[in-house]
Amino acid sequence: MYKYVIKRLISMIIIVVCAGIIVFTLMYLAPGDPARLQLGQWATEDVLAAKRHELGIDLPYIVQLGKFLYNTFLRFDFGISWQSSMPVMGELAVRLPRTLMIGIPSMILSVVVGTVLGIFAATHEGRLGDSLTMVLTMVLVSAPDFWVALMFIILFAAKLGWVPAFGIESLKSYILPIICSALPVMAVNARQARSSMLEVIRADYITTARSKGQKSKVIVRRHMFPNALMPIITGVAGGLCKVVAGSPVIESVFSIPGVGAYLLSGVNYRDRPVVCGCVVFFALFTSIVVLLMDLCYAFLDPRIKAQYSK
Amino acid sequence: MEKKKTSHSAEFFRRLTKGWSSKLGLILFVLIVLVCVIGPFLSPYGINDVDVASINAGPSKEHWFGCDTMGRDLLTRLLVGGRYSLILGLSASLLSALVGSVFGLVAGYQGGAVDSVIMRFMDIWSALPGLLLCILVSAFLGPGFFPTVIALTVGNIPSVARMIRGQVLSERTREYMEASKVINCSGFSILFRHLLPNTIQPIIITTTMAIGGTITMAASLSFIGLGIQPPTPEWGALLADGRRYIMVYPHLIMFPGIIIALTVLAINLLGDGLRNALDPKLRD
Amino acid sequence: MKKILAIVLTLALMVSLFAACSSVTQSSSAPASSTTQTPAAAETTEAAESAEASENAEAEAPAASEGRYPEVHVAVMADMEDLTPCKPNGTTRTNTFWIIYETLFDYDEKMNLVPNLAKSYEILSDTEWEVTLFETIHDSQGNPITADDVVYSVNWLVDSGNNIRYDLFDSIEKVDEYTVRYHWKDKPASTSDLEFPLCRTFIFDSDAWENNNFAVAPVATGPYVVESFTVGSTLIMTANENYWAADTDEDVSMRAAYHAANVDRIVYNTITESSQAVIGLEMGTIDFCDYVPAAMLTEFEDCGPYADQYDVLTAPSTDYYYILPNMAEENARVSEDLNLRLAAFYALDNETIAAVMGNNNVPLKSLGTAAYPDYDTAWEDEATYMNTYDPELAKDYLPQSNYQGEELVLIGLSTEECKNALTMIQNQLVQIGLNVKIQTYEKSFLLTVLEEKTGWDFYVATTGGTTLINSWTRIISQQQNAGWTAGWLKDDRMEELYAIAAADDTHIAENMKICLDYVMENGYAYGVSGWSSSIVHSTHITDICYREGYWIVGACSYQ
């Protein structure tokens, strides 16, 4: 088992480096001149050339790639944003807590409520409870996220005044963003939980347990739930990866300067240090989460654990 | 009396429409598709008929859904837009499900080095944010319909692959797998005739859910100036146009939003039915 | 138990969604007739503007330390990102940087140089100017500003690679403690050639630069000091208690009026979503906003529910939209075909185009708006393709051209306004038989596309500037692309006429008219629409102060 983990950790480093190289190359090849974007329409060619030299983008590709890899992985320096002259690492460090303040509670909320709803729907399949839940999840998934957000703002902030409408002044300003981010994911989780519960309900070992006379509640808890958990865990892991990337839409509607907004503006301005820094960070985070998820699989499903120990 | 032997497709259809939700989904979906195909011919307005006097007009007898920011009839634009959005959403989701499944199946079934390489590749892929990938793909391929489909496909592939692989890993050790190996089924046959139907269920759910997300992602691309160009009335673009007027002219966002919701509902219900129809355990 | 919980949650969510829906439909029942309001508002703004102009020429009263209005919250659409003094013309920076930092000179509305940190200037020769500073300047931390600091600041800007429009600048040297000498490469034809070296270069102390991080906490000489800056969210400024111009013995009466500090504390909130800004105004958390969508202005105007707390100031701005044809030789189908261009331009009706672009767009009658000091409304009386909609004439020109039915590409930014304009333009061109395709791009792609000489035929763009001739630089000046205009035009006669109209000595209405006539004879541009910007502000702000057309909250009058 430990050998497996060590192997995964090594491959994690390789992944992160590969992700860095890929995104660096993509940004290098993307059309758009960062010098002109920064200096505006009025800049003349010689000023643009000086700017490109300062940014270091007039060097050959290999040299730039080499410098990037050296700085990022050996000196842990993501560089300085071209757009705003602020160090990328510093900005990420400041913005990450805000994104996590939205992302983690939102994920917990969506998993808990979503799974509960899903199991409820599955155990009442075909009846009113099931239909009601499914309709609700449908609405939540298809309503545009900024629409739901604005509706909530109008109701809870403007009309009732319970929470502030935008900004990050107080902890209360995070309440609405958390709820709005959680809703669509909650819907997906609910559907996923319902579907895998249904699958399990019809499985043979459940029939066996029932025919042996086991109580319903026990069946649900001890037999159905762990087996239904696998796709849910995949969903949770996927959601966790997205948590750190943030949602540019929610962040822009609520004016929260988080990581999502940072990355989006980086792409719009062809700001390579920002984009590469963010992506390398996401890659690292994603790899760790995926490793944990695979370990969870092994823990939950003895059949898989057996495969890993070979 | 002998039971009449029903053909496979009739059997499939019967199981597909068992239960009221699948029936509803099928009817709704067919209705939406019909309306989008035939509706524009019945409408007295064209999608580009600008009427400056009716800019942002609310619903009325002449314009059932009101008019947009340029005075064009919203209902007509919605119907025509449906063609683009439906094809866009469906093809992008199906394509990503297909490609993802292939990766996932091969990785899960082969195991070992092949599995490691593919899954690590998927990990790198999923580390790149979806929006970024979309933009970069669009940047290389340019704006337009088919490049947009590719751009929207790219983001969903790793999650599909990972999900399928997870399922395959659980199914691999089941008895029927050993059984088919014993009777000397070929690799392909095992993959597609035995594994796929059993592992396909979570994929159906995520694919159907993803269609709605694909339509909204297409809207984001329109924001950025990639994807579908104006004056094409794609649903996502209609949503994006109405965003600023949420507080004054809610009909600009309500109607596209409702249509998208209904379409996604229909597809999801249909997806449920599909899942039931394909579940081998329900076979008689 | 789970059952009950799930049902309660379901019901709660559904109720909240529908409740919010109904509140929206109620607010939308207010009539959206803002077009009838605007003419009345425009009249009052003209009066306000002329009052402003005379205010600027009057003596500047030093900011009283008592009697300042306590706090004002401003909504801004884009973040300032960082406060280093090298890129002063970004979107929100025009409203914020100029009360933190100061330059050597300012412009008045006639583009004359007005003292700011520099007391006076002397023209020694065609290429040498000597500038004398005030002697009692110090920044908010007490560091005195001397000629050394001026040289330092200028050279820093040049070295940092951000010295745009420094074409005439050759070098700067210190002459004595408070005098510097500028060397230009050539004789400046007008003061606007020296815009960036003299009026857009911020001066700061070299020690302050080394000891502070100017990106978040600049130390400079302006009437306001940055208290805190949260990137992406909030910028808070407080009045500079140690402002040099407030307690100096020297005569600073010639300085512009906007260097006053009439508020103790200004909070700038970055709110990108315009609906959120409206909600902020309604909740009272925001006092000042200039990007309220036109459809929502009625809430704050005289008959709206918030009329007693807010006023709306609508003023025509100097920015306008225009269409540029691709005049590159390689794109012969447009550049060699005058009849095609004229056909296209006569087929356009900019009244309809402006109408679909939104309420705050006004169709242009000539190439520019009346908000410019050097715009002559007499130009509108002549019938040109910009103020006449003549599709019949267009259809006459078309057969005389070489157009064979090829697809023409119309490009522009992917903003909503621009998209609507492009759609309308396409509509109207299709009516006379042209085959037109629209391509919208985001800013970075657009610049790449424009750098190609083929692949596009018409470009819908915006321009602006302090004077009309300034705004024409983008359209007809061949300095843009090293010898071509932004639309790849190379016409020596055009360049000649432009140079005459731009030079200080010959910058008169007749020369501008000659320039304009030449443009229209050759179909080099088409003026689409001009903006009028609306500022919604709390009634505590009685008069809005402007710097070159940009509002400065700190110097407004309060009650």
C206 touches chain B (CB under 8 A): no
C21 touches chain A (CB under 8 A): yes
Do A151 and C275 count as a contact with CB atoms less than 8 A apart? Answer: no
Q: Which of A83, A117, A253 sits opposite C273 (nearest CB)?
A: A253
A12: closest CA of chain B, how far (Å): 8
Tell me how many degrees the CA angle C153-C157-C161 measures, rounded to the nearest 5. 165
Tell me how many degrees the CA angle B211-B212-B215 measures, rounded to the nearest 5. 90
What residues form DSSP beta bridges with C547? C550
From the list C258, C262, C266, C252, the residue with the least C-alpha distance to C65 is C262
From residue C461, how far is each of A268, C100, C388, C525 by CA, in Å?
A: 19, 31, 21, 11
Asked whether A268 and A81 are in contact (CB, 8 A), the reply is: no
Cα–chain center distance at C294: 18
User: Using 50, 70 and 90 to split pLDDT, how confident is the model at B225?
Assistant: low
B125-140 burial by CB neighbour count: b if 16+ within 10 A, else e? Answer: bbbbbbbbbbbbbbbe
Distance CA A9, CA A5 (A): 6
What angle, 0 to 180 degrees and rounded to 10, lies between the N-to-C axes of helices A259-268 and A88-123? 120
Mean pLDDT, chain B, integer: 78
pLDDT for A308 equals: 63
Distance CA B162, CA A122 (A): 24
Provide, as residue numbers in chain B, all residues whose Cβ is less than 8 Å from the Cβ of A143. 257, 261
| Per-window interface: A 246-265 vs C, CB < 8 A | 252-257, 261-262
Selected residue with higher pLDDT from B121 and B137 = B121
Q: Which residues contact A252 (CB under 8 A, 6 or more apart)?
A: A261, C272, C273
pLDDT tens for each residue of chain C, 559 residues long: 444 444 444 444 444 444 433 433 333 333 333 333 333 333 333 333 333 333 333 333 444 446 789 999 999 988 888 888 887 777 788 889 989 999 999 988 777 889 999 999 999 998 899 999 999 999 899 899 999 999 999 999 888 778 888 888 889 999 999 999 999 998 888 887 888 889 889 999 999 999 988 888 999 999 999 999 988 889 999 999 989 988 888 888 888 888 989 999 999 999 988 888 998 998 889 999 988 888 888 888 888 888 889 999 888 888 899 999 999 888 888 888 888 999 999 999 988 899 888 778 889 988 888 888 888 888 888 888 888 888 888 888 888 888 888 899 999 987 888 889 999 999 999 988 899 999 888 777 788 888 888 889 999 998 887 788 888 888 888 877 777 888 888 888 988 898 888 887 888 888 889 999 999 999 899 999 998 888 999 999 988 888 887 889 988 888 8
Residue B112: Cβ-neighbour burial (10 angstroms; 0-12, 13-18, 19+): exposed
Alpha helices in A153-203 (DSSP H): 175-201
Distance CA C254, CA C114 (A): 7
Selected residue with higher pLDDT from C543 and B205 = C543
Distance CA A121, CA A197 (A): 9
From residue C126, how far is each of B36, B128, B205, C338, C479 by CA, in Å?
A: 71, 57, 76, 41, 21
Query: Averaged over A290-303, what is the pLDDT?
Result: 76
Inform me whether the pLDDT recorded for B45 exceeds 70. yes
Which of these ranges, A57-61, A288-292, B157-161, C226-230, has the smallest mean pLDDT?
A288-292
Provide, as residue numbers in chain B, all residues whose Cβ is less than 8 Å from the Cβ of A11. 116, 120
- Looking at chain B, which subunits does it touch, using at least 3 CB pairs closer than 8 Å as the criterion? A, C
Encoded tokens for C246: 């407030």
B144 touches chain C (CB under 8 A): no
What residues form DSSP beta bridges with C408? C436
A272: closest CA of chain C, how far (Å): 13
Which CATH number describes the domain made up of B19-40+72-282? 1.10.3720.10
pLDDT for B140 equals: 66
Q: Where are the domains of chain B?
A: 19-40+72-282
B98: closest CA of chain C, how far (Å): 31
C77 touches chain A (CB under 8 A): no
| Domains, chain A | 2-73 (no CATH), 96-269 (1.10.3720.10)
Asked whether A178 and A99 are in contact (CB, 8 A), the reply is: no
B258 touches chain C (CB under 8 A): no
Encoded tokens for B57: 């007009």
* ipTM computed for the complex: 0.81
Q: Both ends of chain A: CA-CA distance in Å?
A: 9
Asked whether C148 and C156 are in contact (CB, 8 A), the reply is: no
A211 touches chain C (CB under 8 A): no
Distance CA C364, CA C28 (A): 31
pLDDT for C310 equals: 92
The residue type found at C413 is L
pLDDT for C236 equals: 94
A274-285 burial by CB neighbour count: b if 16+ within 10 A, else e? Answer: bbbbbbbbbbbb
A168: closest CA of chain B, how far (Å): 23
Do B257 and A147 count as a contact with CB atoms less than 8 A apart? Answer: yes
Kindly write down the DSSP assignment for every residue of B152-203, as one continuous string. Answer: HHHHHHHHHHHHHHHHHHHHHTSHHHHHHHHTT--HHHIIIIIIHHHH-HHH
Distance CA C156, CA C169 (A): 14
> Could you read off the pLDDT of C521-545 as tens digits, one per residue?
998 999 999 988 889 999 999 888 8
| Per-window interface: B 83-112 vs A, CB < 8 A | 111
Do B245 and C427 count as a contact with CB atoms less than 8 A apart? Answer: no
Query: Averaged over B98-108, what is the pLDDT?
Result: 87
Provide, as residue numbers in chain B, all residues whose Cβ is less than 8 Å from the Cβ of A201. none
pLDDT for C35 equals: 33
Q: What is the DSSP letter of A73?
A: I
> Could you read off the pLDDT of C217-244 as tens digits, one per residue?
999 999 999 999 988 889 999 999 989 9
User: Using 50, 70 and 90 to split pLDDT, how confident is the model at A309?
Assistant: low
From the list B215, B210, B206, B208, the residue with the least C-alpha distance to B260 is B215
Phi, psi of C179 (to 5 degrees): -135, 135
pLDDT for C507 equals: 83
pLDDT for C450 equals: 87
C20 touches chain A (CB under 8 A): yes
What residues form DSSP beta bridges with C239? C224
What angle, 0 to 180 degrees and rounded to 10, lies between the N-to-C axes of helices A88-123 and A225-245? 150
> Could you read off the pLDDT of B105-123 as tens digits, one per residue?
888 888 788 888 888 788 7
Neighbours of C171 (CB within 10 A): 13
What residues form DSSP beta bridges with C234? C230, C269
A223-238 burial by CB neighbour count: b if 16+ within 10 A, else e? Answer: bbbebbbbbbbbbbbb
Asked whether C124 and C181 are in contact (CB, 8 A), the reply is: yes
pLDDT for C64 equals: 43
Query: Averaged over B206-212, what is the pLDDT?
Result: 74
Residue of chain B minimizing CA distance to C294: B245
Q: Both ends of chain C: CA-CA distance in Å?
A: 59
User: Using 50, 70 and 90 to split pLDDT, how confident is the model at A157?
Assistant: confident
> Could you read off the pLDDT of B49-68 as tens digits, one per residue?
888 888 888 888 888 888 98
Number of inter-chain CB pairs under 8 A, A vs C: 156
Do C23 and A270 count as a contact with CB atoms less than 8 A apart? Answer: no
C461 SS3 class = strand
> Could you read off the pLDDT of B141-197 as tens digits, one per residue?
666 778 888 888 888 888 888 888 888 887 777 767 767 777 776 766 766 676 666
Distance CA C242, CA C495 (A): 49
A223 touches chain C (CB under 8 A): no
Query: Averaged over A98-114, what is the pLDDT?
Result: 89
Asked whether C441 and B232 are in contact (CB, 8 A), the reply is: no
| Per-window interface: B 212-241 vs A, CB < 8 A | 212, 216, 224, 239
**pTM of the predicted model, to two decimals?**
0.81
Q: Which residues contact C452 (CB under 8 A, 6 or more apart)?
A: none
| Per-window interface: B 241-270 vs A, CB < 8 A | 243, 246-247, 253, 257, 260-261, 263-265, 268
Asked whether A35 and A269 are in contact (CB, 8 A), the reply is: no
Provide, as residue numbers in chain C, all residues whose Cβ is less than 8 Å from the Cβ of A43. 164-165
Do B245 and C414 count as a contact with CB atoms less than 8 A apart? Answer: no
A268 touches chain C (CB under 8 A): yes
Distance CA C154, CA C269 (A): 31
